[in-house]
Amino acid sequence: MPVLAHLVQRRWRALPAIAGLLLLATPSCRLFDPPAIAQKAMADMPIKKVVLYQNGVGYFERRGKTNLESVELRVRPDQVNDVLKSLAVLDLAGGAASSISLPAEKSADRQEAEIPAQVRNATGLVGMLGVLRGADVTVETNSDSWTGRVVGVENPPQGKDDKPRPATVTLLVGDDRLVPVHIDAIKRVTIGDRALSVGLKQSLDVSKREGAWKPVSLEVRLAGDKTHDLLISYIHEVPVWRPAYRAWVETGKGLQLQGWAVVDNTSGEDWNKVNLSLVVGAPLSFRYDLHTAHHVTRPDLSVRLPQEAAAPPSPDSGFDAAPAEVPAAEAAAMPPPAPSAAPAGNAMADESMEDAKKASSSFGFAGAGPGGGGMGGGMGGGRFAKELPPSKVARRAMPAEKSKEQADDAETERQQRDAAIKNVQALVTGKEVGALYAYEATYPVTVPDRSSALINILNRHLEGRDVYLFREPQSGQAPYRAVMLRNESTGPGAGALEGGPITLYIDGTFAGEGFVGRIAKGEVAFVPYARESGSTVSQSSDDKTDELRLVTVVDGRIRIEGKQLHIRTFTVESNTGKPALAYVKTSATAGMTLRDPPKDFIKAGSDWYVPVLMPAKGKGETKLVEESPVSYEELDVTDRAADAMALYLKGAKVQDAVKGPIEQLLMIRAQIGDIQRDTKGLDSQRSVLDDEQRRIQGNLDALPAGAVAADLRRQLLGQLESASKKAGEVAKKLVENEVKIAALREKMVVLLRSIALK
């Protein structure tokens, strides 16, 4: 079917951009208006419920009664795939939906591929008439009109004056009359073949991509003659709703939190007094093209056709035979004739009205996966494993005494602030369903198409306070001022908080802005809002063993178990004029667990927040003790082994067979210790005596010869002899001690091998 694809390509190339500008500039206008019947059908089935999720989809419910045999839904092309994937129709009056029809959609590439190349490439009147060669047309000028078939279009050569001459179309009028008509003189061309004119329109639709903004109509056909009470639900893509918070923190009073949600309606239809729900959490969802016709590639077996005809063989002669019968095996293999189409049974026809009402869940959309529905996403719970215990709020230093006028002004501001907080009431209630939490509007909400709304979703009191936060204690950076809040309260709105920006007011004054992530019920969050100076943090660490326990003694091998302790001390030095609470962010040591966490300690996964009370212009510190199990194997009664044995003897499960030998081992070890201490003293004496002998010998060497120094020489010789004698006695005792220690050690080895503790 010859048609023209790009006759007006240039003229309509900017159509999508112009349409977008019109949508933004004239909110109350429509580029298309549905027919009156469609408008009535849509009015009879208004949107009654909207649920917005954090995964970019919205759930919509329509409700209404009708006596018609069908109702029409009109959706945008970008919504149709989600609608086809999720559309559910319930007739609460006992009827049923028999079918849902919509126009088939071909891809633009396939539509263009079906148009001949000469049609796709033709532009302008000259190109159009060239493509319509052989077609019946009526050509009108100001003075004449001819009806005939297009013979062709020619462009004559330029004249002597180099001016271009107009193209000429030649028509076959009647049986034998050729009429040339200058293109410039043509005022109107009418195509006589309707098939060609329809094809031309279709090609123009492809060229301007008309389906990109033209609505798609879905016709829901209903079974039964009585009135239908319909509930129609579906999902499609929508902008996610975004929360924003305001928080007032006052010393000793906790935190008052207000939450607002920004909701955008880009669905193409007004939300007029709908039940609106905003869900914290993201069920699984995905895109899937169900509208565009899907074609599969088929193998081309044309090569199996005969490539040349065979010459007829020589004629045969013979006798007539009975008509050939189909063999029984081949007859059995033949497919049976196709049965006539019968209407499929409606599974919903037998469903009671009460069951149908239950089918419409409070949240509507629960999620979808490749194999069916499923709940997913949920909230990021479990980030803070330990609850924040209640703590005394550090009192601020009392300011200088104010005048009565200043005090009255402060009291007036406080009263106005309290009144403003109380008067802003949340217009929603909340409830939990599985991993999701939903804010449900208590009053119907109206949001016109292509507009946004700001809705107050919560106004409640939380436990919170202003703190210092050292997030990078090893980097030397200054701490943050932060608000620590715990998302735990009761009553309306008590539940998870979706992440968003937060504006903070501390003691009635704007303090800064922060951002909170998703906070589950019971979780604690730190919201930094300003940098702080005048405070520093330092950290020191120490390692030691504790809780040593004797496990076994076999073949002289002593096995001991205990705890390895890693002790970290966090010291905060403050130059501020009033006490405050600081938190130091750190990480757990791999393979170790926390022992006796300090008060107000916060655990957030692998991150720990250690509280440190900061005095006014002073130092505060907190110790963090981590432990891990350790084991040792000793071949001698070392200090560690002796300590473990001593603890074993003090226990309640001491074995009598090993009690005596262990006591002897410890006694011998004590004796060895006494001898070693005596040996250490003797070593000190020997060192002193050696120094004394060297000093005396030096003095002797320095004396002159002769009778004058004879008396002094005798004295020095006597001292040297006495020191040598004492040194000999000390050396003798040292040798004796070594012999004693060797004997005792040998005895210990024998005794240790005799112990069998398992």
CATH at residue 717: 1.10.287
Is 283 or 416 the better-scoring residue by pLDDT? 283
Q: Which run of H or E residues covers position 516?
A: strand 509-516
Residue 670 belongs to a domain: yes
pLDDT at 51: 92
Do residue 142 and residue 268 come from a single domain? Answer: no
pLDDT at 414: 61
Do residue 460 and residue 594 come from a single domain? Answer: no
* Percent of the chain residues topping a pLDDT of 70: 70
Do residue 148 and residue 75 come from a single domain? Answer: no
| pLDDT bracket for residue 758 (50, 70, 90) | confident
Residue 621 belongs to a domain: yes
Do residue 125 and residue 214 come from a single domain? Answer: yes
pLDDT tens figures, 159-210: 666 677 788 899 889 888 888 988 888 888 888 877 777 767 766 666 555 5
Closest CA to 53 of 343, 437, 432: 437
Q: How many residues does the chain have?
A: 758
Residue 468 belongs to a domain: yes
CB 447 within 8 A of CB 244: no
SS3 264: strand
Is 204 or 662 the better-scoring residue by pLDDT? 662
* Percent of the chain residues topping a pLDDT of 90: 22
Distances (CA, A) of 211 to 80, 202, 292: 12, 11, 11
Q: Helices 656-702 and 710-754 sit at what angle, rounded to 10 degrees?
A: 160
Do residue 106 and residue 231 come from a single domain? Answer: yes
- CA–CA gap between residue 421 and residue 244 (Å, rounded): 16
Q: Which of 29-38, 275-284, 312-321, 737-746 has the lowest mean pLDDT?
A: 29-38
Do residue 614 and residue 725 come from a single domain? Answer: no
Residue 325 belongs to a domain: no
| pLDDT bracket for residue 419 (50, 70, 90) | low
pLDDT at 625: 95
Q: DSSP labels for 657-705?
A: HHHHHHHHHHHHHHHHHHHHHHHHHHHHHHHHHHHHHHHHHHHHHHSPS
Do residue 481 and residue 502 come from a single domain? Answer: yes
| Predicted confidence (pLDDT) at residue 238 exceeds the cutoff of 80 | yes
Residue 129 belongs to a domain: yes
CB 255 within 8 A of CB 463: yes
Do residue 128 and residue 180 come from a single domain? Answer: no
507: left (phi over 0), alpha (psi -120 to 50) or beta: left
Distances (CA, A) of 722 to 690, 692, 712, 715, 735: 12, 10, 16, 11, 20
CB 751 within 8 A of CB 666: no
pTM of the entire structure? 0.56
Is 274 or 289 the better-scoring residue by pLDDT? 274
| pLDDT bracket for residue 366 (50, 70, 90) | low
Do residue 272 and residue 389 come from a single domain? Answer: yes
Report the alpha-carbon angle 128-133-134, nearest 5. 140
Residue 303 belongs to a domain: no
Of the three residues 523, 553, 579, the one that is the final residue of a domain is 523
Report how many domains make up the chain: 5
pLDDT at 585: 92
- CA–CA gap between residue 413 and residue 509 (Å, rounded): 11
pLDDT tens figures, 517-531: 888 878 888 999 988
| Predicted confidence (pLDDT) at residue 389 exceeds the cutoff of 80 | no
Residue 210 belongs to a domain: yes
pLDDT at 519: 84
| Predicted confidence (pLDDT) at residue 383 exceeds the cutoff of 60 | no
Do residue 82 and residue 202 come from a single domain? Answer: yes
Do β-strands 47-52 and 271-280 pair in parallel, antiparallel, or remain unpaired? parallel
Give the helix ranges, DSSP H, for 3-70.
9-12, 15-25, 36-44
Tell me which residue range forms the domain holding 486.
239-282+379-396+418-523
| Predicted confidence (pLDDT) at residue 348 exceeds the cutoff of 60 | no
Of the three residues 523, 553, 587, the one that is the final residue of a domain is 523
pLDDT at 472: 75
Of the three residues 490, 523, 556, the one that is the final residue of a domain is 523
Whose tokens are 């048609």? That residue is: 3
Do residue 610 and residue 744 come from a single domain? Answer: no
Do residue 506 and residue 516 come from a single domain? Answer: yes
Whose tokens are 């007539």? That residue is: 320
- CA–CA gap between residue 89 and residue 232 (Å, rounded): 5
| CATH number of domain containing 626 | 2.60.40
pLDDT at 162: 66
| Predicted confidence (pLDDT) at residue 742 exceeds the cutoff of 60 | yes
pLDDT at 209: 52
pLDDT tens figures, 670-693: 999 999 999 999 999 999 999 999
- CA–CA gap between residue 748 and residue 668 (Å, rounded): 7
Q: Which of 26-40, 305-319, 489-503 has the lowest mean pLDDT?
A: 26-40
Residue 324 belongs to a domain: no
- Provide mean pLDDT across the span 336-348: 39
